[in-house]
Amino acid sequence: MADMVNGFAHIGVPCTDLEKSVSFYEEFGFRAAAKARDLNGYHVAMMENSGCIIELYESADAEEKEAAGQRSDGHVDHIALRTEDLDRVYAYCTEKNYPVVTDGIESTDIWSPKKCRYFTITGPSNERVEFSQTEQ
């Protein structure tokens, strides 16, 4: 099953001020590859630099947004792994009884007009691992 994943898709980072975070990453050569406002309750920017993508997202929910800023050591929300056969990976993960924390396979329009499908499991140290497939 080692051939199911072919690289990182992105690393998700919640933020309290999306535009401030976008500016910060731009200082280090990242550019906004995709942006969306009010996408399922979040303002999102996919920041890319040399194939590395950081998903910055700011919650529209005031309490969730405040909680993101309360951590003293920062916060990486999830690790996203790219795959070309999401259905196969999903079947494998459910067969292994890995806890799926999304509502099965979900989708997002952040890469519109391309379609992106994903699901997230909980790993052995309670980390969240997302598997993501974006049509090419």
Contact between residue 100 and residue 121 where contact means Cβ atoms under 8 Å apart: yes
Average pLDDT for 102-107: 96
The model's pTM: 0.71
Q: Which two tokens stand for residue 7?
A: 């690289």
Contact between residue 110 and residue 34 where contact means Cβ atoms under 8 Å apart: yes
Residue position matching structure tokens 């050591």: 73
Flag whether pLDDT at 71 surpasses 80.
Answer: no
Average pLDDT for 6-32: 88
Cα gap 48→133, rounded to integer Å: 17
Average pLDDT for 96-109: 95
89: CB partners within 8 A, 6+ apart = 4, 5, 83, 131
Closest CA to 119 of 65, 13, 91, 1: 91
What does the pLDDT look like over 49-58, one tens digit per residue? Answer: 889 899 999 9
